[in-house]
Amino acid sequence: MLACVVGFACADRGPAPANGTAELRLEDYELVDLTHTFNAATLYWPTSPTSFALEQLAFGPTEAGYFYAANALSAPEHGGTHLDAPIHFAAGRQATDQIPLDRLMAPAVVIDVSAASSADPDYRLSREVVLEFEAQHGAIEAGSIVLLRTGWSERWPDRLRYLGDDTPGDASDLHFPSFGADAARLLVEERGVAAIGADVASIDYGQSTDFMVHRIAGAADVPGLENVANLESLPARGATVIALPMKIEGGSGGPARIVALVPRDMP
């Protein structure tokens, strides 16, 4: 295993090498996978005409005597653990391949609203709750990735429990928590966060019809991360998130592998 990665901008642990470049020492961190596996059970928006498909092209010994495996895959941009590019809901804003890497690799802030969400599946994060979080954990710095933990990840991939409705082709009766518009404005317009994300199917709550959180984030070139997994393994502050989508030219989003680095010496 590679002991360290040189040149990682967020790293400040230990002395810098002689060339002045910061080092990331992976042995100092717990690596947490925040990604649901893509497979036939992967959830997509109810109105999506297709879902994830993996077609086996080759699997087994070749005529030359060695083993060979290859597949063809197809999937909508928006489903499973994925990124929403700003252009998804904002004309003229960044497509997937145009998002700067420093918006996808940044310190994480995790706001836990799992108790409130359990009591109300239509819960929306409010400005007041964000301010209460800051009063306890400190101000949210510009350039952070803010992740909303609702507890919904443990319902994956049960379509009815996760989305609140499993009617094929119908997205009118979905019920799951997420960000509220006033909280999104605070985070995006006042705090200047790099990205926002949640462990649910959308950065807008299930009953949304105007998708204001998407529109607020997109207008500011702030990407969204959806269907994030395992947020219960992250502290409120101190982790670093790396959220890298498939680099699709002109894309409105794409499947993503999201991981977190959590310092082992955190109290």
Query: Over the chain, what HEC string results?
Result: CCCEEECCCCCCCCCCCCCCCCEEEHHHEEEEECECCCCCCCCECCCCCCCCEEEEEEEEECCCCCEEEEEEEECCCCECCEEECHHHCCCCCCCHHHCCHHHCEEEEEEEECHHHHHHCCCCEECHHHHHHHHHHHCCCCCCCEEEEECCHHHHCCCHHHHHCCCCCCCCCCCCCCEECHHHHHHHHHHCCCCEEEECCCCCECCCCCCCHHHHHHHHCCCCEEECECCHHHCCCEEEEEEEEECCCCCCCEEEEEEEEEEECCCC
**Position 119 in a domain:** yes
248: CATH? 3.50.30.50
**Position 26 in a domain:** no
Which position among 88, 137, 175, 214 bears the catalytic label?
88
**Position 18 in a domain:** no
Angstrom distance (rounded) from CA 106 to CA 193: 10
Query: Omega into 121 within 30° of 0, i.e. cis?
Result: no
88 is catalytic: yes
**Position 162 in a domain:** yes
**Position 170 in a domain:** yes
CB-count exposure of residue 34 (10 Å: 0-12, 13-18, 19+):
buried
Please state the pTM of the whole predicted model.
Answer: 0.92
The domain total for the chain is: 1
Nearest to 241 by CA among 134, 104, 141: 104
**Position 227 in a domain:** yes
Tens of pLDDT along the chain (267 residues)? 333 433 344 444 444 445 555 677 889 999 999 999 999 999 999 999 999 999 999 999 999 999 999 999 999 999 999 999 999 999 999 999 999 999 999 999 999 999 999 999 999 999 999 999 999 999 999 999 999 999 999 999 999 999 999 999 999 999 999 999 999 999 999 999 999 999 999 999 999 999 999 999 999 999 999 999 999 999 999 999 999 999 999 999 999 999 999 999 987
Residue-range definition of the domain harbouring residue 166: 31-48+77-263
**Position 6 in a domain:** no
**Position 185 in a domain:** yes
